Structure 1
Amino acid sequence: MAQVLEFKLPDLGEGLTEAEIVRWLVEVGDVVAVDQPVVEVETAKAMVEVPCPYGGVVTARFGAEGTELPVGAPLLTVAVGESAEGRPGGGASAEGARGQGSAAEGSGNVLVGYGTSQAPARRRRIRPAEPASAASAAPTAPTANGRLRPTAETRETAETRGTPGTPETRGAPDTPQTPGGTGAAESTGVPSRTPGAADGPVPVISPLVRRLARQNGLDLREMTGSGPDGLILRADVEYALRAAAAQGRTAGEPRTHVARAGAPTAAGVTTGTPAVTRVPLKGIRGAVADKLSRSRTEIPDATCWVDADATELMRTRAAMNAAGGPKISVLALLARICTAALARFPELNSSVDTGAREVVQYGDVHLGFAAQTDRGLVVPVVRDAHARDAESLTAEFARLTEAARAGALAPAELTGGTFTLNNYGVFGVDGSTPIINHPEAAMLGVGRIVPKPWVHEGELAVRQVVQLSLTFDHRVCDGGTAGGFLRYVADCVEQPAVLLRTL
C-alpha cells in the first residue's frame, strides 16, 4: 500500500526564512526520483532548485508560482510504495525511483545544495537558444529522469490555481503519455514555444525585479536582459513598462518582445530601433529646462547650509494667528526674514551682466518662490516684497499659488525676480542643493520642520528643527558674505525678536 509523505520547504541557510515559488518543475501525477529538483524558488540572495528527498508520484502541490512560503511550510506530497507503480505515468519510472533506495526513508537531502550518495537527477540550467527542432519536442514526453514534462495548456492551468496551504490535485491525464519527438507535438496541436523559453529559469538580478514584473503583468520570458549573460536588471523591467505604457497597452494585454538599445535578442540580432517615449520640452517645461540649463552653464554656484531651532518661530506664528485676523503662513515669515537679511547683505540681491562683466545690485526685492504645479515647476514673483508685512505676503503667496495651479499667471508675474525662496520641505525632505533661478544670484532653501533632539540652554530637549541652505553665485560674493546671510536668517528663525531691529 502506498504511503503519502509530505515534503516541506527546507531551511535555506544564511538566516533566510522564506522563499518565493518561481516555477514548478513537476506536475501533480508526475513520477519523481530521489533528489530530483521539483521546484525553483528565489530568496533574497539567489535562485535555487529544491530537490525532493522522496521518490514516487506527486499527489499534491502547495502554492502557485509567485507565492511566498515560509521555511517549514508544505511544498508537495509524494505517494511512495508499491502502489505508486499503478498511478498515471508510473511504470518503469516508478520502478527506477524505488530502485534507488527506500522512498519512505528518503535521501536526507533536505538542504538546498547538499548532495547524497545517489546519482543526482538532471539539473535545469540556463542555456542559450536551441534550434527550433529541439523546442518542438512533444509537450507530454517524459524527461530523462522519468518526470513527465507538462504541456503548455497544463502550465496555464497550474498558474491559475493553488494558494499557500491549499494543495493542487489532478487526476489521470486525458490522453496517454507517449514518448516521441516532433511528430508527437504536431499530433497534439500544441504550438511550439520560443526556444529556451520553456526550459531553465529566467535570470534576474534580484527577487524585487521579478516581483515588479509580476505586479505589472510583464512576462520575463519575453525579455532580453542587458546585464552579463542576458541578466535582466531592474532598469530593463522599468524600460519595458515605460515602452508598454507608451504604446497604450494595459497589463492584461499580450506583450511583445521589448529589448533595450543595443541588447542582443534571443536570435543574437542586435535591436536597432528600441521602443522609446519622447516628451517634447515645450511650454512651461521647455522654458524651465532652458533656464536651468543656462544656470548650470553660466553660474559657478556654491552651497552652504545650517540647522536652526525653529521652535520659537512656530510659537510666534501660533501667537499671531491666535490674535485674530487672517492666518499667517510660515512661508510669509520666512520671506520677511529674507528681505531683512537682503537689506544687510545686498550683494545677494543682484545678477551678473556677463556682456559688460558687471554685478548689478537691485535696491528693491522682487521675491520669487518655487511652486509645483501639474504643468511643471514655476516661480511666481512677489513684487516689492521688502515693503510688505507678513499679512500682505501671506495673501500674495496664496493668490499667486492659486493662479499658478490654474495656469492663469501673467508673464509679468513670472519674470523680474531678484531672489528666490524655495520651500522644498513641503515634499518631506530635509535638505537640497537647488539650481539658481537664472539670472539671479542666490536662492534660499528651506527643509521640513520636524521634532529633533537639540541642545537647548545646556540641556538635551526635543525642538522643532529646520535645515536652511543657501546656493549662491560665487562671482557676486565670497563665502563670508554668504555665510553671514545664512547665519542671520538662522538667528531670526531661532529668535524672531531679532527682526524687531529692522521693522
Structure 2
Amino acid sequence: MTTDFRLPDLGEGLTEAEIVQWLVAPGDTVTLNQTLAEVETAKAIVELPSPYDGIVATLHAEAGDTVAVGAPLIAFDVDGEDSASDASTPAEGGAAASAAEPATQANLVGYGAAPSGGARPARRARRAAGTAASIVDTAVLEAAPHDALPTGPVETVQGERPRSTPPVRAHAKQLGVDLVLVAAEVGDRPITRADVDAYAERVAPAVPSPPTARPAAELDGERETRIAIRGVRKHTAEAMVQSAFTAPHVTCFHTVDVTETMDLIASLREDRALSGHRIGPLVVIAKAVCLALGRTPGLNSRWDAEAGEIVQHHYVDLGIAAATERGLIVPNIRDADRMSLIGLADALTALTETARSGRTSPAELAGGTFSITNIGVFGIDAGTPILPPGQSGILAVGAVRPQPWVHRGDLAVRQVMTLSLSFDHRVVDGAEGARFLKDVADVLQEPGRAMLMA
C-alpha cells in the first residue's frame, strides 16, 4: 500500500520547517529509523527518521521548500493490503507502522526507541544526480604524498555518505574539498570544520580556490542582492520584535577592574591538573551571574501575562548567545547554578562546539531563565541587548582592555571591562537591577568575594 508520512510536530511550538536536503530519492528502499531528510526549523537542524520499512514512492517537497507541520512530506510503498493510510503524528504513525508490521514503532525526529535488536540501522548512502558517493581507499591516502592525492573525479561506488553537518558541508564546498577524501582520513567519526580546514591547508596547491566576488560593475547591472528571510534569521527577528515591543527594557552599565579575575584565570590555566578544562573570562562571569541571581531572584523570573503572575525560577538555565553560520542562537546550560567552575567550563565548551557544528537541538534552545551575550569577542565595550522572550534579564559582556585606573589611591594600568545589563522593568525595578550588576562586578573585581555569596 502507499502511505503518506506528514511532517511531524517538532516541538517547542514550531509550525513549519525548511527542507535542507533529502537523503533518499524515489525508488530507494529504506528501513525503519533510517534518516530521510535534514530539515531546518526556526531553532535547529533536525534529522527526520523513517517511520517505515518500505520503498520511497514520492517526495512531496523539494530541497529549499518550507513545509507546514502536518503537510504531506513523503510517500512510501509498504508491504500490506492495497489501501491508503496516513502517518502524521507519533500515535498515527505507530498505528500505520503496525499495519505494515515494522520491527517497532517509528522513531520520529531522532528520539525514542531504536528498532528491536538494539543498534539503530546505519544511514543509507545519499543518492545524488545519478551517481553514488565517492569512496577512496584509506591505505592509498596514507601511502601517497600530499601532492599525489586525487583532486579530480574519482571512481564512484555505492557507499555511505560522509558524516558531517550542513555547515561543514557548505564550508567544504566553498573550499573545494571532497568530504569523501576527508572521511577516509578521519575514520568513522563525524567530519568537523577543523578536519576540512586541515585537509585544505595540507593539499592547498591541489584544491581550487573559492571564486572571488565579482565587482559590482560585472554583476549585469544588478546593484542589490535579495536574501529570503527564513530559518534562524526569521525566528530571531520575530522574537526580538515581540520582546522589544512587549517588555519595557531598561539598560544600565558598570565598568569594573577585572585584573584579579584575569590573574586568577592565568593561574588556573597554568595548573596541569586543569589542563583538560578551558577556563576563560566567560566561565568566571557565568559563575558570578549564578551567584548574583541567588541574591536577586527578580532577574531570574518571567512575566506571565495570561496568568497575571510573576514566576520566579528556583534554578538557573543559563542562556549563552552564540553567533553561528545559521545566525544568532541562545542555547542553555541547564541547572548552571548547581555547577562548579570546572563544570561550567566543560558545559560551556560543549555548548560552543555543538552550536558551531550546527547540532544544537530545539530542546537546548528553549526554556532559558537568564542569558549572557559576549560582545567583547568582537572588540565591543558595551551595548543594549534585547531580552530573549520569556526572560527578565540579559547581561552583555564587553572587551577586556588595559586602561589607566585608580587602584588603591594610585594611578595604574589595570584590566577593565564594561558590563551592560538589560532587564524587564515590569519584573525588576532599578534598585534590584543595580544590586545584581554590582554583585557580578564585585566577584569579577575580587573573585574571593564569591566565598561570601555561595
Q: Give the structure-1-normalised TM-score.
A: 0.46
Cross-structure match for 1:451: 402
- Structure 2, unaligned stretches of length 5 or more? 1-211
Contact kept in structure 1, 2:392 and 2:428, CA below 8 Å: no
Secondary structure in structure 1 of the residue aligned to 2:227: coil
Offset at residue 460 of structure 1 (A): 0.4
Which letter maps to 2:303? Answer: V
Counterparts in 2 of 1:500 and 1:249: CA distance versus 1, 3 Å: closer
Q: Whole-Å Cα distance in 2 between the matches of residues 356 and 278 of structure 1?
A: 42
Secondary structure in structure 1 of the residue aligned to 2:383: coil
The correspondence of residues 285-434 of structure 1 with structure 2, limited to 5 A, is 285-324=233-272, 325=274, 326-434=277-385
Contact kept in structure 1, 2:392 and 2:423, CA below 8 Å: yes
Contact kept in structure 2, 1:381 and 1:413, CA below 8 Å: yes
Cross-structure match for 2:445: 494
CA offsets per residue over residues 158-189 of structure 1, 9 Å max, x none?
Answer: xxxxxxxxxxxxxxxxxxxxxxxxxxxxxxxx
Which letter maps to 1:369? Answer: I
2:229 to 277, 281, 297: 281
Counterparts in 2 of 1:406 and 1:458: CA distance versus 1, 3 Å: same
Q: Whole-Å Cα distance in 2 between the matches of residues 406 and 340 of structure 1?
A: 30
Contact kept in structure 2, 1:281 and 1:289, CA below 8 Å: no
Offset at residue 253 of structure 1 (A): 5.9
Q: Whole-Å Cα distance in 1 between the matches of residues 378 and 419 of structure 2?
A: 15
Counterparts in 2 of 1:284 and 1:320: CA distance versus 1, 3 Å: same
Q: Which of structures 1 and 2 has the larger relative contact order (alpha carbons within 8 angstroms, sep 6+)?
A: 2
Secondary structure in structure 1 of the residue aligned to 2:225: coil
Cα RMSD (Å): 1.8
Counterparts in 2 of 1:480 and 1:407: CA distance versus 1, 3 Å: same
Q: Whole-Å Cα distance in 2 between the matches of residues 249 and 400 of structure 1?
A: 33
Q: Whole-Å Cα distance in 1 between the matches of residues 375 and 253 of structure 2?
A: 14
Contact kept in structure 2, 1:342 and 1:485, CA below 8 Å: yes
Which letter maps to 1:280? Answer: A
- Structure 1, unaligned stretches of length 5 or more? 1-247, 259-274
CA offsets per residue over residues 93-145 of structure 1, 9 Å max, x none?
Answer: xxxxxxxxxxxxxxxxxxxxxxxxxxxxxxxxxxxxxxxxxxxxxxxxxxxxx
Contact kept in structure 2, 1:332 and 1:393, CA below 8 Å: yes
Q: Give the structure-2-normalised TM-score.
A: 0.51
Q: Which 4+ runs in 1 deviate beyond 3 A?
A: 252-258
Contact kept in structure 2, 1:453 and 1:462, CA below 8 Å: yes
Secondary structure in structure 1 of the residue aligned to 2:363: helix
CA offsets per residue over residues 175-205 of structure 1, 9 Å max, x none?
Answer: xxxxxxxxxxxxxxxxxxxxxxxxxxxxxxx
CA offsets per residue over residues 294-345 of structure 1, 9 Å max, x none?
Answer: 1111110000011000000111112222222234121111100000000000
Cross-structure match for 1:60: none
Q: Whole-Å Cα distance in 2 between the matches of residues 489 and 320 of structure 1?
A: 20
Cross-structure match for 2:90: none
Secondary structure in structure 2 of the residue aligned to 1:500: helix
The correspondence of residues 41-440 of structure 1 with structure 2, limited to 5 A, is 250-251=214-215, 276-324=224-272, 325=274, 326-440=277-391
Q: Whole-Å Cα distance in 2 between the matches of residues 360 and 400 of structure 1?
A: 26
